[in-house]
């Protein structure tokens, strides 16, 4: 299997994020995540690691609004250039706003903090000096995996930062560009595409991007947003709109879900994919479903992760696997290898 990876991800290394209650904590989405995955893959006899190709901005702008992309590109420089009394902070170690736009009432602001509050969803996607470069390289890894599966059975994009919480015009939840959505949109030029999200958290950004489209079937299995981030999307009744009605499906899972219940929900999702008859499959592969993940409240074992991979592989579709979450660094690499090994 060809693996697409870029060292550029090390440039995105926020020192902190802000948890509920305003508490600063070390950022869970750290460079160590990708390093652990890469190390585990290099111990296999089937992983071949390659740098991504440069696809330019056009495939990203096909998914994300130009104003949002321009914001990400300029945000760090604008943050440094803002006078402290104008910016509102002497500490310039990361760009995080304190005021967020209510989208139904929002008007884009001119100040850097106003723009940040307009384009950012929460306090878990801080922008630092290397964020834009890392997000760009991450998207190119996903596009390289998509290109690979036009002539191969599978490929893996070792994306960091992840992407599935990033919508058309917002970042959040550690995500800046929606790597899986960018890959799926690129592949949609070649035929119908299914996008299956198995991350612990609902893929609200992906839902936002494809909600009114019928050429991409989007499905997300995740912790019920009634109790878990992102709270405001990912409910079972959200089925798409307009031309996309019936082409989006959420499978919210209760806290404590184990292997058997998860695999039963997965079987229902795979049935929908078979009925759709896509020409390619994109997987948002989050390993935060693992039972000992610090940010998760469901309990999927490593054997469960392997079985998830095996059942998806039985679809026999060209499959681009895109890395999303997973924050137990001691287990992360082995979990990814267990999942990807079923596609050999």
Q: Which residues are catalytic?
A: 165
Convert 89-145 into a string of H (helix), E (strand) and C (coil): CCCCCCECCCCCCCHHHCCCCCCHHHHHHHHECCCCCCECCCHHHHHHHHHHHHHHH
The total number of residues shown for the chain amounts to: 344
Q: What is the DSSP string of 318-336?
A: -EEEEE-----HHHHHHHH
Cα separation, 318 vs 55, whole angstroms: 20
Cα separation, 116 vs 293, whole angstroms: 30
Cα separation, 255 vs 233, whole angstroms: 17
SS3 34: helix
Q: Per the structure block, which two tokens stand in for 257? A: 């879900």
SS3 152: coil
Phi then psi for residue 320, to 5 deg, are: -100, 115
For β-strands 248-253 and 17-19, DSSP reports them as: unpaired
Cα separation, 73 vs 91, whole angstroms: 21
Q: Which residues contact 83 (CB under 8 A, 6 or more apart)?
A: none
Cβ count near 169 (within 10 Å): 17
């Amino acid at each position: 299997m060809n693996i697409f990876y870029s060292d550029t991800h090390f440039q995105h290394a926020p020192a902190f994020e802000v948890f509920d209650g305003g508490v600063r904590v070390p950022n869970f989405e750290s460079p160590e995540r990708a390093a652990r995955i890469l190390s585990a893959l290099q111990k296999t006899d089937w992983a071949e690691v390659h740098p991504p190709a440069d696809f330019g901005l056009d495939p990203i702008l096909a998914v994300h609004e130009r104003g949002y992309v321009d914001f990400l590109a300029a945000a760090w420089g604008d943050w440094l250039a803002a006078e402290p009394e104008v910016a509102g902070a002497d500490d310039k170690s990361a760009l995080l706003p304190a005021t967020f736009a209510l989208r139904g009432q929002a008007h884009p602001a001119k100040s850097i903090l106003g723009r940040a509050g307009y384009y950012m969803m929460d306090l878990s996607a801080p922008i630092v000096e290397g964020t834009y470069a890392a997000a760009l390289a991450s998207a190119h890894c996903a596009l390289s995996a998509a290109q690979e599966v036009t002539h191969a059975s599978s490929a893996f994009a070792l994306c960091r930062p992840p992407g599935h919480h990033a919508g058309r015009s917002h970042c959040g939840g550690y995500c800046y560009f929606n790597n899986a959505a960018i890959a799926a949109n690129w592949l949609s030029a070649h035929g119908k595409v299914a996008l299956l999200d198995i991350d612990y958290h609902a893929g609200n950004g992906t839902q936002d991007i494809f909600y009114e489209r019928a050429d991409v079937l989007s499905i997300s299995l995740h912790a019920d947003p009634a109790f878990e981030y992102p709270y405001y999307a990912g409910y079972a009744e959200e089925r798409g709109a307009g031309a996309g009605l019936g082409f989006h499906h959420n499978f919210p899972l209760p806290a404590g879900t184990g292997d058997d219940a998860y695999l039963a929900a997965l079987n229902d999702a795979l049935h929908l994919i078979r009925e759709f008859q896509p020409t390619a499959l994109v997987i948002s592969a989050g390993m935060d479903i693992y039972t000992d993940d610090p940010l998760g409240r469901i309990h999927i074992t490593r054997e469960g992760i392997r079985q998830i991979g095996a059942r998806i592989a039985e679809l026999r579709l060209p499959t681009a696997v895109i890395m999303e979450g997973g924050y137990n660094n001691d287990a992360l690499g082995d979990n990814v290898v267990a999942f990807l090994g079923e596609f050999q």
